[in-house]
């Protein structure tokens, strides 16, 4: 890691590793990687003061493609690892990144409690409404009549998970949605989420053109949200419950105080050992 970054203006290249991404051509995750590096550069955060934590999945390869500290962890476990890191090192800018399967299915319980706990960090979910790495199964956000998945030939048949509404109900302090077709806008959302105190959640619509080529059409239907961000949970709930999934922007900004546990040592190792002596 360079030691001269404190003396010059940082650029997105300062946050990229030499590892070439293995994503499919046209994958939206390329754009999210670019947005993260642009946001960090805009904020001027030195690479040694940032960390990206992920679980498993196509999008969870993000840490390897950056030059900041990173952890590519277990499936669905990005959030507890990221929260632990932030609590232990509050000086770091911590970003958790992953996909809809990793975050809303296997990691669904952690998602609820990360929103509720409100530790000051940012969670980016690249939502393509499919399990791409395992070749195209329905995910929690797949619509009920999607029939191209081999495991669900008649479609999943159940309503999709609503991540933004669940985040609001669980206590998330900052809720936004972006689209990979506009990486500069997503970069601004990420930067705003990092600046906002508390847990910030950003859903990024990231088409999987390999297993869901119809998602190329998303660029024709996404639009800026027709309303300004609100800090009123009741108003935000009404908006989100009538949302069609394609309104972009910051949709809720709360003012809950971030959770900062007391991490000061309350006993020495010798004192702790004494508690277990039988």
- 208-243 as b/e: b if 16+ CB within 10 A: bbbbbeebeebeeebeebeeeebeeeeebeebbeee
The domain ranges of the chain are 28-259
How does pLDDT run across 156-168, given as a tens digit for each residue?
999 999 999 999 9
Which residue do the tokens 């809303």 mark?
A: 104
How does pLDDT run across 179-229, given as a tens digit for each residue?
999 999 999 999 999 999 999 999 999 999 999 999 999 999 999 999 899
Eight-state DSSP code of residue 197: S
Q: Where are the beta strands (DSSP E) in the chain?
A: 50-54, 69-72, 93-99, 121-127, 174-179, 199-205, 223-224, 247-253
Question: CA neighbours within 13 Å on the CB side: how many for 20?
Answer: 3
- Four-way CATH pick for 28-259: 3.40.640.10, 3.40.50.12780, 3.90.220.20, 3.40.50.970: 3.40.50.970
H/E element, 116:
helix 108-117
How does pLDDT run across 26-70, given as a tens digit for each residue?
999 999 999 999 999 999 999 999 999 999 999 999 999 999 999
Residue 233 has pLDDT above 70, yes or no: yes
């Amino acid at each position: 890691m360079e030691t001269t970054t404190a003396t010059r203006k940082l650029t997105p290249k300062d946050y990229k590793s030499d590892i070439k991404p293995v994503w499919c051509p046209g994958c939206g995750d390329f754009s999210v990687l670019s947005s993260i590096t642009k946001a960090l550069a805009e904020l001027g955060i030195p690479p040694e003061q940032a960390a990206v934590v992920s679980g498993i999945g196509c999008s969870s390869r993000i840490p390897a493609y950056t030059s900041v500290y990173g952890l590519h962890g277990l499936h669905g476990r990005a959030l507890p690892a990221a929260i632990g890191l932030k609590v232990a090192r509050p000086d770091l800018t911590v970003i958790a990144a992953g996909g809809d399967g990793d975050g809303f299915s296997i990691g669904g319980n952690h998602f609820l409690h990360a929103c509720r706990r409100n530790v000051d960090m940012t969670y980016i979910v690249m939502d393509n409404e499919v399990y791409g790495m395992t070749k195209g199964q329905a995910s929690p956000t797949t619509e009920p009549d999607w029939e191209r998945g081999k495991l669900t030939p008649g479609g999943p048949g159940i309503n999709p998970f609503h991540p933004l509404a669940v985040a609001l109900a669980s206590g998330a302090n900052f809720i936004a949605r972006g689209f990979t077709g506009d990486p500069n806008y997503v970069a601004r959302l990420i930067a705003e989420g990092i600046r906002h105190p508390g847990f910030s959640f950003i859903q990024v619509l990231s088409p999987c053109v390999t297993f869901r080529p119809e998602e190329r059409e998303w660029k024709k239907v996404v639009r800026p949200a027709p309303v300004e961000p609100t800090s009123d949970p009741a108003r935000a709930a009404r908006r989100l419950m009538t949302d069609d999934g394609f309104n972009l922007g910051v949709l809720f900004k709360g003012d809950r105080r971030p959770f900062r546990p007391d991490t000061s040592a309350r006993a020495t190792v010798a004192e702790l050992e004494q508690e277990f002596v039988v």
